[in-house]
């Protein structure tokens, strides 16, 4: 995440203006120093304590430590001046330090949050729970400071005696390791939504209303694009439509984001079929819509290399990456090749990519390690690598990593704290 130092200066000045008779003298002195040094361009931002400059060569420097939201001044040691909110900077579709896998299924529905370090991999650590409602098949989103989950399949509740979907939007902090909080509700209860983010909003597309087999002619599936704000805790709102309705029962399209557009790829085409039959058509369309329009209509901008029905998705700054079902699709007879019945996972999956600039198919970029399947896994992006955590259909603790720069087989980087079935992925 990029930090805007202008915002840091404003926060320092605001903190200094709020002192009173109860403020310790040393804190007051450090705040005055901080305000002067910030205006004198002696202010830097670092990701963690390990990135602070050498003490002997940086006396008098002011440093904002982003992982803890702490302002430090070098008085011969790095003293903490004050804790303050992280200053929002330029949003990016990739993270620098951490990846997250949240919620999911497993032995039971989950709400826990796993965190892992991009540079060293796993094992992951558990840092809290996203909310008091466990869920999986939610949509995942990342702002500059928080991770969000929206909707998802939830277990039976006292007011809803059978398992169903939730409309909750919940967020957790990237800066502080703590439980999440509820911030609003979606337009309706839904699951299987593809999560997309930009600097200001989280977007949900291709969601399904009910958890059970749909009835032809009902509004189980929608073309609606809805979004919720990162800057204020509020409900989502309708802002446009996708070009094609993607039925997502036993399937899920992937979500991707450049800095200007949202993308969704694959999923289940809009012929109704209650299980895997000749009408169960994995999708290959790439749909895109502009973030700048409040009443956007998506358009088809390309095709992914293979038809894919359950996609784990992530983004670099230039490409969208997704897990693609391997086995193939016979478009003449509308049959899936080498794919088991009733939701059985494919034998393996490939990582395919497409380019944001023109929607062109980039094609195959990586195999999962040992031909494993992580169908519907959570995606997280660092500046150089993509990470897929857990899986859909089958339960998995696996986290795989592949490089953006070259076509190389993905490698395992360790295990999540628990098996996770269709979790959400995030990055910071």
What value does the mean pLDDT take over residues 296-313? 78
**Percent of the chain clearing pLDDT 90 (strictly above):** 27
| CB count in 10 Å sphere of residue 239 | 17
pLDDT score at 18: 55
Q: Between β-strands 424-427 and 98-104, what pairing exists: parallel, antiparallel or unpaired?
A: antiparallel
What value does the mean pLDDT take over residues 1-27? 53
Q: Which residue did the predictor score with more confidence, 391 or 115?
A: 115
Cα gap 323→133, rounded to integer Å: 28
Q: Which two tokens stand for residue 330?
A: 């016979």
CA 223, 205, 357: angle at the middle one, nearest 5? 105
Q: Which residue did the predictor score with more confidence, 401 or 16?
A: 401
Give which of 282, 414, 274 is closest to 349, Cα–Cα.
282
What value does the mean pLDDT take over residues 237-243? 92
Cα gap 114→124, rounded to integer Å: 6
The per-residue pLDDT for range 310-340, each reduced to its tens digit, is 667 899 999 999 876 655 444 454 444 443 3
3-state secondary structure of 84: coil
Confidence of residue 373 (pLDDT cuts 50, 70, 90): low
Place of tokens 């200053």: 87
User: Looking at the predicted structure, is the pLDDT value of residue 69 above 80?
Assistant: no
Q: pTM for this structure?
A: 0.74
Confidence of residue 163 (pLDDT cuts 50, 70, 90): low
Q: Which residue did the predictor score with more confidence, 92 or 424?
A: 424
User: Looking at the predicted structure, is the pLDDT value of residue 351 above 60?
Assistant: yes
User: Looking at the predicted structure, is the pLDDT value of residue 218 above 80?
Assistant: no
The per-residue pLDDT for range 128-146, each reduced to its tens digit, is 999 877 888 899 999 988 9
Task: Set out the domains of the chain in order of their start, with CATH numbers.
Answer: 5-83 (no CATH), 98-427 (2.120.10.80)
User: Looking at the predicted structure, is the pLDDT value of residue 99 above 50?
Assistant: yes
Mean pLDDT, the chain, rounded, equals 76
């Amino acid at each position: 995440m990029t930090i805007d130092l202008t915002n840091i200066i404003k926060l320092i000045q605001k903190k200094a203006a709020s002192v009173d008779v109860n403020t310790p003298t040393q804190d007051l002195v450090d705040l005055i120093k901080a305000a002067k040094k910030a205006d004198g361009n002696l202010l830097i931002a670092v990701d963690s304590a390990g990135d602070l400059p050498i003490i002997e060569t940086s006396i008098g420097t002011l440093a904002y430590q982003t992982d803890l939201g702490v302002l430090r001044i070098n008085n011969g040691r790095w003293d903490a001046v004050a804790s303050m909110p992280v200053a929002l900077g330029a949003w990016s579709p990739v993270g620098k330090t951490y990846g997250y896998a949240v919620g999911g299924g497993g032995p039971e529905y989950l709400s826990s949050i796993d965190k892992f370090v991009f540079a060293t991999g796993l094992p992951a650590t558990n840092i809290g729970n996203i909310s008091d409602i466990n869920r999986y098949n939610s949509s995942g989103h990342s702002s500059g400071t928080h991770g969000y989950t929206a909707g998802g399949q939830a277990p039976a509740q006292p007011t809803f005696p059978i398992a169903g979907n939730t409309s909750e939007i919940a967020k957790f902090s990237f800066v502080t390791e703590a439980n999440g909080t509820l911030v609003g509700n979606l337009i309706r209860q839904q699951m299987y939504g593809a999560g997309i983010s930009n600097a200001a909003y989280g977007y949900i597309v291709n969601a399904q209303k009910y958890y059970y087999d749909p009835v032809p002619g009902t509004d189980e599936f929608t073309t609606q694009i809805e979004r919720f704000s990162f800057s204020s805790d509020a409900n989502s709102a309708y802002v446009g439509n996708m070009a094609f309705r993607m039925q997502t029962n036993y399937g899920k399209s992937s979500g991707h984001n450049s800095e200007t557009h949202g993308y969704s790829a694959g999923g289940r085409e809009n012929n109704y079929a209650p299980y895997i039959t000749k009408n169960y058509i994995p999708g290959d369309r790439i749909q895109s819509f502009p973030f700048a329009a409040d009443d956007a209509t998506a358009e088809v901008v390309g095709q992914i290399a293979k038809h894919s029905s359950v996609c784990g998705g992530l983004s670099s700054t230039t490409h969208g990456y997704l897990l693609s079902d391997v086995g193939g699709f016979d478009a003449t007879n509308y049959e899936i090749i080498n794919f088991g019945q009733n939701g059985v996972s494919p034998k393996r999956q490939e990582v395919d990519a497409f380019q944001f600039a023109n929607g062109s198919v980039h094609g195959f970029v990586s195999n999962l390690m040992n031909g494993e399947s992580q169908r519907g896994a959570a995606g997280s992006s660092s500046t150089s690598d993509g990470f897929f955590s857990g899986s859909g259909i089958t339960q998995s603790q696996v986290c795989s990593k592949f490089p953006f720069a070259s076509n190389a087989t993905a490698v395992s980087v360790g295990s999540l704290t628990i098996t996770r079935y269709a979790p959400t992925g995030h990055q910071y």
